[in-house]
Amino acid sequence: MLKYEVGDIITLKKGHPCGENKWEILRTGVDIKLKCLGCDRQIWLTRIEFEKRVRKILVGEKWISIVHYKGKDHDHTEE
Ligand SMILES: [Zn+2]
């Protein structure tokens, strides 16, 4: 079960060389596609690599540490 959704904004352990460290999730699945919000460059990470590198996620206007994040729908029953 993936707790990340397309459109989520996240930060990684290391920012992009352009200086930005905000990424939008464009695709989820076995591989995760991310877009740097600084320069619009797109990268692919394997899901495992992504899970290792992701640090925080933007929920509303708050950055939530990924260790505390259970997914937006964690209060609801599984579909
Ligand atoms: Zn960039």
pLDDT digits (tens, 9 = 90+) for 14-44: 999 999 999 999 999 999 999 999 999 999 9
Averaged pLDDT score across all residues of the chain:
91
Rg (CA), the chain: 12
Q: Which two tokens mark 41?
A: 């460059």
CA of 13 to the centre of ligand 1 (A): 14
* pLDDT at 79 (0 to 100): 44
Q: Tokens 């695709």 map to which residue?
A: 27
CA distance 44 to 39: 15
Q: The sheet that has 23-27: what strands, in order across it?
A: 42-46, 31-36, 23-27, 9-12, 54-59, 62-65
CA of 22 to the centre of ligand 1 (A): 8
pTM flag (> 0.85): yes
